[in-house]
Amino acid sequence: MRIRDRHPTIDGVLEAWHERLESAALPYRNHVYRVFNLTIAFIPENEEREDLIAVASVFHDLGIWTHGTLDYLPPSARLAADHLAEDERRSWVRPVQLMIMNHHKLLPYRGEAEPLVESFRKADLCDLTKGLFGFGLDARFVSALNEHFPDEGFRVQVTRMVLGWAGRHPTRPFPMMRV
Res 161 pLDDT > 80? yes
**Residue 179: inside a domain:** no
| Domain that residue 42 falls in | 8-168
Render pLDDT for 78-112 as a digit per residue (tens, 0 to 9). 999 999 997 788 999 999 999 999 999 999 999 99
Instruction: Count how many domains the chain has.
Output: 1
* pLDDT value, residue 64: 93
**Residue 1: inside a domain:** no
**Residue 176: inside a domain:** no
- Gap between the Cα atoms of 53 and 40, Å rounded: 8
Render pLDDT for 2-48 as a digit per residue (tens, 0 to 9). 999 999 999 999 999 999 999 999 999 999 999 999 999 999 777 78
Helix/strand/coil for 177: coil
**Residue 2: inside a domain:** no
Among candidate residues 15, 97, 114, 113, the one with its CA nearest the CA of residue 56: 97
Lowest mean pLDDT among 95-99, 104-108, 133-137, 171-175: 171-175
**Residue 142: inside a domain:** yes
Instruction: Report residue 4 CA to chain centroid gap.
Output: 15
Q: What is the DSSP string of 46-102?
A: -HHHHHHHHHHHHHTTTHHHHS--S--HHHHHHHHHHHHHTSGGGGGHHHHHHHHHT
**Residue 17: inside a domain:** yes
Evaluate whether 84 touches 95 at the Cβ level (below 8 Å): no
CATH of the domain at 45: 1.10.3210
Evaluate whether 65 touches 161 at the Cβ level (below 8 Å): no
**Residue 3: inside a domain:** no
**Residue 75: inside a domain:** yes
